[in-house]
Amino acid sequence: MINADELISVAESLPLELKTELTDRLLDSLNPSQKEIDELWAEEAEKRVEEVRTGKVRPVPGEDVFREIRERLSK
């Protein structure tokens, strides 16, 4: 049986493309995607992009958001 150090040594010696695939698969095994949820998030993201594009929603700069959070937390 292979131990963790041996496994890591083998993984580190792989070409970049295989390392990337291995990493993706390991991450997926820790947090499997839920296709339906992923699709719903993709739809929501598209909807929000369209709202910004059409002017229905005005984006707020990140600096403003974080400043407001700091102000609220300091009270």
Stated pTM of the model: 0.49
Residue 58 carries which DSSP code?
Answer: -
Chunked into runs of 10 residues, the chain (75 residues) has average pLDDT values of 93 96 93 87 97 96 96 92
pLDDT of residue 31: 83
d(C-alpha 51, C-alpha 39), whole Å: 18
pLDDT of residue 1: 87
